[in-house]
Amino acid sequence: MGSCYYDYILADRTIIPDNLQKHYDEKIAYLPCYQVNDRKRIISERQFTREELGIPKKGFVFCCFNNNYKILPSTFNGWMRILRAVEGSVLFLYADSEDSKINLVNEANARGIESERLVFGRFIPAEENLARYQVCDLFLDTSPYNAGVTASDALWAGLPVLTLLGQSFASRYAASLLNSIGLPELITNTQEEYEALAIALARNPQNLTEIKLKLANNRLTAPLFDSPLFTKNLEAAYIKMYERYQADLPPEHISIG
C-alpha cells in the first residue's frame, strides 16, 4: 500500500518471493495459498453449445474473460500471433461494451486476423458463467495485470489457465493459483515461451487432455480450493501477528505451513 500504517500483507512465496520483499512497506504474512475460495460454488448443469455461444463447430477455443482494460497491446499482439499459428482457432472474450467489441475487432483486423475469429460473451449469472468455461479449451491470461478471481473461476470449472510470470504482485497472481493447484507447467517466464506453449497445447490435444485430467484430480485435494485449510492457516497467521503485538515486538515476516 506504500503506507507506514499497514503492518502486514497476505501473500505466498509465488506472489512475493524473498528477493522481492524489499519492495513492500508491509511485512509479509506468508500463507501456503494466497487466495481464499469457496469450494461449494455451484456450476450450473446447463450445457452450452458452441452454436449458442457463436463459436464455430470445429477449431480450438482460446478464451479470456478478464476485464478489457487488462488487455494491453503486447498481450493482444501475442494473442493474434497465436491465432495465426493455430489454424481454425478462435478467441472467446468478454466485452463490457459495444465500443470494446468494435475496438478489439478493428485491432484484430489491423493485424490480419478475421473478425469471426473473435467471439464475444455477455454477462451471465455466475453459475452459468462457470459452465460456459467448459466449452473452451485454454484460458489465456493477460500481463502484467493477471486474472485473479477470473482465473480461479476457470480452474474451478476445469479449464487450464496459461500465464506469464512478471515481477509485480498483480503479474504473479495467476502463477500463485497455478502453483496452489499443482499446475506449474502452465507458468511461463517470457512472452515467447507463453506463445509457444499456447500453440503447442493447441496442436497437441493429448498433452492438454493430460493437463485437464491433472486439474480434475487436484481440484478438491490441492490447497487452492481447500477452504477449511485456508481458514486454519489464516487464523494461525492472525495469532502470530497478535502474539508479537502482545509481546511489544514490531511486525516481522511470518510464515505459515
pLDDT per position as a tens digit, 187-236 = 999 999 999 999 999 999 999 999 999 999 999 999 999 999 999 999 99
Strands (E), 12-96: 27-30, 61-64, 90-94
In this predicted model, what pLDDT tens digit does every residue of 124-164 receive, in sequence order? 999 999 999 999 999 999 999 999 999 999 999 999 999 99
CA distance linking residue 176 with residue 78, whole number of Å = 22
Please report the pLDDT score of residue 240 as a whole number. Answer: 98
Backbone angles phi, psi at 163, to 5 degrees: -130, 165
CATH number, domain containing residue 213: 3.40.50.2000
Distances from the Cα of 228 to the Cαs of 5, 38, 220, in angstroms?
30, 9, 12
Judge contact between 31 and 237, C-beta under 8 A: yes
Q: Are residues 205 and 92 located together in one domain of the fold?
A: yes
Range of the domain at 245: 8-33+226-255
Peptide bond before residue 144 is cis, with ω within 30 degrees of 0: yes
Q: Note whether residue 47 is domain-resident.
A: no
Q: Are residues 75 and 148 located together in one domain of the fold?
A: yes
How does the average pLDDT of the chain come out, rounded? 96
In this predicted model, what pLDDT tens digit does every residue of 88-135 receive, in sequence order? 999 999 988 999 999 999 999 999 999 999 999 999 999 999 999 999
Q: Are residues 12 and 110 located together in one domain of the fold?
A: no
Q: Note whether residue 220 is domain-resident.
A: yes
* Residues in Cβ contact with 143 at an 8 Å cutoff, skipping those fewer than 6 apart: 72, 74, 75, 163, 164, 166, 171, 191, 194
Q: Note whether residue 48 is domain-resident.
A: no
In DSSP terms, 116 is beta-bridged to none
* Residues in Cβ contact with 223 at an 8 Å cutoff, skipping those fewer than 6 apart: 32, 33, 180, 181, 229, 230
Domain count, the chain: 2
Please report the pLDDT score of residue 4 as a whole number. Answer: 85
**Which of 164, 167, 149, 147 has its CA nearest to residue 224?**
149
